[in-house]
Amino acid sequence: MKVTLMLSLILLSFTSATLASKPISISTKASQLVETPLHKIKPDNDGMVLTRVIDLPKFKQGVYYRPFTAFGRGVVARGNRVEAIAFTSLSELQDYQPSKSRKDHINIQQGQYILLELYDGRYLALLPMASEKVYGQFFVAQEQLLLKTGNFGTATISGKIPLLIWAYGDSPYSATQNAWQQVFQSGYVAAAPRAFKNYPEQPYGYLGWCSWEHYKKNISEDIISDAFHTLDQSTAPFRWVMVDDGYLDAKNSKLLSFGVNKKKFANGWKPIMELKNEEKIKWVGIWRNFGGYMGGVSNDHTMSDLKPYLSPTVKKGSLLPNGTKQASKAFYDKMVSDTKDNGFDFIKVDFHTRTFDLYKGTTDPVGAMRHNNEALENATHDMNLPLLNCIAQPNINSLQTKYSALTRSSPDYNQADKDKNKSNTYQSFANHLWMGQTVWGDLDMFHTHDARDVKPMTVARAIAGGPVYISDEPSKIKPEVLLPFAYEDGKLLRTSAPATLLPESFFIHPFRDEQVFRVIAPMQDGVAAIALFNFTESGKALTGNINTKDYPFAGELLQPNNGPWDLPKDGLLLFDPATQSVHNLTQSFTTNVANFDAKMVFLYPKVNGWAVIGRQDKYLPAAAVTLTSVTNSQISFTLEESGPLLIWSQNGAPKMAEHSFKSLGNGLYLANIPVAIGRTQLTVTR
């Protein structure tokens, strides 16, 4: 027994010293999951059990994803705040100073992901790993990249743990995908590929409204009911409403029950549910807090069935599920079943990261969060309630998205803060690079009546591919802003994958630099959508370019990823909706973008001298069309809903039964087909 104890003590001492000093060297191996064994390692005062230097290969430039915070360097960020910073060296990254639009976003610790462009033209992706035992993050100090991992608590850790995944690729997209393939295969986390999940078309495939940005917590039965009635009368086809924060049964920011504040909702949810209408607002969703409420669950809570499963945190008077699977299941089953039983059709769960902060300093925060994430995913999946995760970007949450297909990709939209909305937009598209492997990104609501930023906000949501919803006071809604998003029944026209940045835009400072940033998304039938945003702080109009080299990247965003698209043998046609014109894209196309503005264009494969541009009256015209056959003399396709149709014909004017075409120049033609609900099969000849 004494010999065994002595050997254990020697092993513990040796293991700790080795782990503290041995660097992680990134080899030339195509991809790798780095693991290490632990034996009864006790966390330090910060809850960490291991720190390793990472030896990086020489690189040309990089982008570093970290949570920003307005409270100074090194302070934990509690929001949807994973944000990209471009850098050319670790010393530059260490000394990072934000531009005006990012203001106090000075924190460069707690990194979640890194993408490097190497001198040989390849890209290298690095992802710190999480498991049920540990959660790893990147830190930068003394011009070195460090990996720190731990349970953020007090329990000793034994067994094999994951540290880091790296992978090379020929593009940012292939490197990222190769890294995430290792994530999915690792066995340490629950996340599943986006392609394995069902996008929650009901409701998020339709146009919606949320109570938060206008009303904040000042909601009641009367306010929500009045909003319903006004939305029902709008010419914009709203199909869902989200009841956000402000209704809960809580005291001092701690949950008393999953019920309602009786002063605001005296009759419970029944009057709201009775307003649902199959032909108008069909679905109603609710906001929930991952930890119950901002401060967790109150000691004075009234949920007697949960008392055996809740335990104190280090925050006085705050309770949370006690870290066991049974407790997590009991808590989230109750949260979700209360939602389902009261008639709600979907659920948004917020403040995952803040809940993790409440656990810090307890026995095993990482293990508790793993059980909580798993229980929430299981409960919403089993009860068929589509889940939108919010404040869930850090890897401790994002690596556990087993069933959920939506996560917020930026902080909240803020009508009063133009700089914030600029930052949020860039942040979302940068985040879709890594988030898009497992979820679609949610860009949050916006306001249609805000003339200052409605154009870039609209373009961003059109190309993003995720939900589209607003938060105007209902009487101020501008339906003309919303109608081009959707069909008559409110169904959205969407891209085929989450939009993300084109390669060079990952490595710029989008506000300080005088450069547009460019975004790309694939659509059906080989069409690519590209958006250009001018958010420079100089206030200048900028020139943006689109060329044939951009087109293949759209194919890499699809799942399964069959590689970049080939350039069409007949060439590419560029459609510019702003000028209602087409251009043969032989090399590049140049366009001006005004300051704090955005522009979207579309690249179509030319096939036998044809290209069906699609619905003229929609932001994503190509999304309305599905090709069925093409010959030199005719083209057949399906319109998801009849409406004004644009088509390009290289070899003569097109003809169609019952409808005539008007020439718009350069082979572009318009047929003013009346809008009518229902799918239509059309054939055009020449």
* Tens digit of each residue's pLDDT (9 = 90 or more) over 512-543: 999 999 999 999 999 999 999 999 999 999 99
Q: What is the C-alpha separation between 638 and 625, in angstroms, rounded?
A: 6
Residue type at 302? T
Rounded Cα distance, 550 and 505, in Å: 12
Q: Answer whether 610's CB lies under 8 Å from 549's CB.
A: no
- CB under 8 Å to 522, separation ≥6 — which residues? 495, 496, 497, 528, 529, 554, 555, 557, 558, 565
Residue 614 Cα to chain centre, angstroms: 27
Residue 561's pLDDT band (boundaries 50, 70, 90)? confident
Query: How confident is residue 50, by pLDDT bands cut at 50, 70 and 90?
Result: very high
Domains and CATH numbers, the chain: 2-189 (no CATH), 198-408 (3.20.20.70), 518-685 (2.60.40.1180)
Q: At what angle do helices 172-185 and 418-435 cross, to 10 degrees?
A: 60
Mean per-residue pLDDT for 389-412? 94
The pTM (predicted TM-score) of the whole model is: 0.95
52 in Cβ contact with 21 (< 8 Å):
no
- Please determine, for residue 12, whether its predicted confidence score (pLDDT) is greater than 80: no
CA 669, CA 653: separation in Å to the nearest integer?
A: 8
- CA-CA distance, 114 to 24, in Å (whole number)? 15
- Per 3-state DSSP, the chain is made up of helix, strand and coil in percentages (nearest 5) of 25, 30, 40
Q: What angle do CA 142, 148, 153 make, to 5 degrees?
A: 135
Among 362, 335, 323, residue whose Cα is nearest residue 259: 335
Residue positions counted in the chain: 686
> Which residues make Cβ contacts (< 8 Å) with residue 658, sequence separation at least 6?
none
Region of poorest pLDDT, from 18-22, 239-243, 668-672? 18-22
Q: Which residue has the higher pLDDT, 388 or 74?
A: 388
Both tokens of 536, joined, read 């420079």
Query: Is residue 320 a contact partner of residue 313, using CB atoms and an 8 Å limit?
Result: yes
Structure tokens at 508: 């710029």
Kind and range of the H or E element at 215?
A: helix 212-215
